[in-house]
Amino acid sequence: MITLALVGDVMLGRLVNQRLKTMSADEVWGDVLPQFAAADLRIGNLECALTEHRPQWERTRKVFHFRAAPSAVRVLRAAHIDAVSLANNHTLDFEEQGLLDTITHLDKAGIRHAGAGHNLETATATALIPVKGQQVALIAVTDNEPAFAASATTPGTHYLPVSTDGETLDYVEGLIRRARDEGADLVVFSNHWGPNMVNRPSALFRRFAHAVIERGADVYYGHSAHLFQGVEIHRGKPILYSTGDFVDDYAVDPWLHNDWSFLFQVGMEGGLLRRLVLYPVLLTVAHVRRAEPPERPLICKRMRELSAELGTMLHEEHGILSWQAGSISVPA
């Protein structure tokens, strides 16, 4: 069995970048480092540019621009992050140069990446990660910021609008088939998609995620909403509609609670989900930690209810949620 640790948005800019001047990289991850260490592979969505380039993207209107010093890559290394998605709405916040610098610093740190590149060919390329004698493929797309999309000759992101039309799904199937041809034993499909601050996927998003699994992906790994959403098991494979935030400096909505999240441990064997463990966490500026009462039961309750709506019954024990192959999961 291969165990993946998947987390949502990791934003190392603004106040996080400032805090890193006086705190160690380990401090950012608090007491969740053992959960990272227990996994065979660790993946996150890097929600900022790693660059000293200061001119901001101004070709289209953007409210927020996220940039961290290149030295912030040490935070990713502290958690032994193996790969990141760059297909999101912040990788070009500091123009194409910011993206190219990010790629350079990740490459130097030995962290694989997918979803953005020097041109369309590299932006759409699969990241292959060797794990326990197998190859795990990371495919990363986003429906955010169409102006950031790579072209045949310009840097940018792997842009893919969410649609269940035949052309889009054939394109997705082609991406997955290419990953298999390149040697992938397990395919993780990452998508930075949809609107912010929603805790349920739309009917279209559910149909699209189902179709991606049916076209050959093994794990659907979503993010962007800034809130966690329920998990679904479709044809024996996990769909994580939104993994929420994980490291940031964001203002907290007192009702929606974007400071509540999870570290998702996904155990896959033979292309099927064998075990899913969800560790509830609480986020503060530049810091994540395991949730404790009084927040922990509330976080778990929300996830259990959202997942039950999708037909997934999660078991709670000692403040940790889990699903085991053979447990009840009914069609929603």
DSSP 158-216: -B-----SHHHHHHHHHHHHHHHHTT-SEEEEEEE-S-SS-SS--HHHHHHHHHHHHTT
What CA–CA distances, in Å, run from 325 to 136, 163, 302, 312? 21, 30, 22, 12
What CATH number did the domain enclosing 183 receive? Answer: 3.60.21.10
Backbone angles phi, psi at 111, to 5 degrees: -100, 120
Torsion of CA 202, 276, 88, 125, to 10 degrees: -120
Q: Is residue 166 part of a domain?
A: yes
- The one-digit pLDDT tens for each residue of the chain (332 residues) are 999 999 999 999 999 999 999 999 999 999 999 999 999 999 999 999 999 999 999 999 999 999 999 999 999 999 999 999 999 999 999 999 999 999 999 999 999 999 999 999 999 999 999 999 999 999 999 999 999 999 999 999 999 999 999 999 999 999 999 999 999 999 999 999 999 999 999 999 999 999 999 999 999 999 999 999 999 999 999 999 999 999 999 999 999 999 999 999 999 999 999 999 999 999 999 999 999 999 999 999 999 999 999 999 999 999 999 999 876 554 44
pLDDT at 325: 83
pLDDT at 327: 64
Helices 166-181 and 203-214: crossing angle, nearest 10°? 40
**Contact (CB, 8 A) for 262 and 244:** yes
Q: Is residue 194 part of a domain?
A: yes
Q: Is residue 329 part of a domain?
A: no
- Pick the closest to residue 140 from 179, 183, 97 (CA basis): 179
Q: Is residue 138 part of a domain?
A: yes
Q: Is residue 331 part of a domain?
A: no
Question: Rounded distance, CA 53 to CA 322, Å?
Answer: 43
Amino acid, single-letter form, for residue 66: F
Q: Is residue 268 part of a domain?
A: yes
The number of folded domains in the chain is: 1
Number of other residues whose CB lies within 10 A of the CB of residue 146? 13
Q: Is residue 316 part of a domain?
A: yes
Q: Is residue 157 part of a domain?
A: yes
218-250 burial: b if 16+ Cβ within 10 Å, else e? bbbbbbbbbbbbbbbbbeebbbbbbbbbbbbbb
pLDDT at 332: 47
Question: What is the domain range of residue 147?
Answer: 2-324
